[in-house]
Amino acid sequence: MKLPRITRAHALVTLDCLEATYPEAHCALAHQNPWQLLVATILSAQCTDTRVNLVTPLLFARYPDPAAMAAAEPAELEALVRSTGFFRNKAKNLIACAAELVRKYKGEVPREMAALVALPGVGRKTANVILGNAFDVPGMVVDTHVGRIVRRLGWASAQTPERVEAQLCRLLPAKRWTQAAHVLIFHGRQCCRAQTAWCSACPVEDRCPQVGVGRRK
Ligand code: SF4
């Protein structure tokens, strides 16, 4: 089915509505500085933010900065992050990432996309989380919620996160990217779920070209 082309004006009104619906939308990963957000975001792959937030207090106390993490014993770190899943790979990436921060950036987290994605364990999604939430640099995060919802809303048609990100960055003004991702993620968790799109209660039902998609509640 060919969907109608969504204009920027139409998308912005829809985004206004979603932002008004979810004023509490924010980065759900607990952190106090860019380093902590980087660690939490790496751990959040294939894991819930709630689970990550249970793990990070002890982790940040044990390894308060990249220098401490770079010197971590892999087995000890693996035990601390085990409940987040894929723990061996995550521990390996955390140690390698911390060592790179120490070696190249004096233990600071860089604030440029190219430098961030060159770090072990950091892809564009993680880099955009850091840019938008730690440095107030616009970052368009595309996770599974964002990708699914923007395709339903007709804001993007691509299937890969990188291409969806590029389409969204063309559609929305940069100053709205970071919060757009937060509200779309909230909407994806609370209403426009993968299997159960709750269209009858959706705040943008009258603006969605795929209203009724999936199984209605
Ligand atoms: S109308 Fe349905 S498919 Fe469209 S955004 Fe709302 S919940 Fe999702």
pLDDT at 42 over 90: yes
Are 42 and 130 found together in one domain?
A: yes
**Residue ending a domain, choose from 97, 114, 134:** 134
* 44, 100, 165, 194 from 86: Cα distances, Å: 10, 21, 26, 23
3-class SS of residue 204: coil
pTM of the predicted protein model: 0.93
Task: Check if 17 has its Cβ closer than 6 Å to any atom of ligand 1.
Answer: no
pLDDT at 1 over 80: no
Are 116 and 178 found together in one domain?
A: no
Are 151 and 203 found together in one domain?
A: yes
Are 89 and 162 found together in one domain?
A: no
The 3-state DSSP composition of the chain as helix, strand, coil percent (nearest 5) reads 60, 0, 40
pLDDT, average across residues 111-130: 97
pLDDT the model gives residue 213 = 83
Partner residues linked to 1 by β-bridges? none
pLDDT digits (tens, 9 = 90+) for 188-205: 999 999 998 999 999 999
Are 118 and 192 found together in one domain?
A: no
pLDDT the model gives residue 92 = 98
CATH number of the domain enclosing 44: 1.10.340.30
- CA 111 from centroid of its chain's CA atoms: 16
3-class SS of residue 24: coil
Are 90 and 146 found together in one domain?
A: no
In the chain, count of helices (H) and strands (E)?
11, 0
- Compute the distance between CA of residue 138 and CA of residue 165 in angstroms, rounded to an integer: 12
**Residue ending a domain, choose from 71, 105, 134:** 134
Q: What number does the ligand 1 atom closest to the CA of 198 have?
A: 7
- Compute the distance between CA of residue 89 and CA of residue 108 in angstroms, rounded to an integer: 23
Q: Tokens 């207090």: give the residue.
A: 57
**Residue ending a domain, choose from 134, 159, 177:** 134
Pocket test for ligand 1, best of 15, 149, 217 (most atoms within 8 A of CB): 149
pLDDT at 217 over 60: no
Largest CA distance in the chain: 55
**To the nearest whole percent, how much of the chain has pLDDT over 70?**
96
Pocket test for ligand 1, best of 204, 206, 215, 217 (most atoms within 8 A of CB): 204
pLDDT digits (tens, 9 = 90+) for 52-95: 999 999 999 999 999 999 999 999 999 999 999 999 999 999 99
Q: What is the count of structural domains for the chain?
A: 2
17 Cβ neighbours under 8 A, 6+ residues apart: 203, 204, 207
pLDDT at 152 over 90: yes
Phi-psi group of 121: left, alpha or beta (phi > 0 → left; psi -120 to 50 → alpha; rest → beta): left
- Compute the distance between CA of residue 78 and CA of residue 84 in angstroms, rounded to an integer: 10
Residue 170: give the domain boundaries. 8-25+140-207
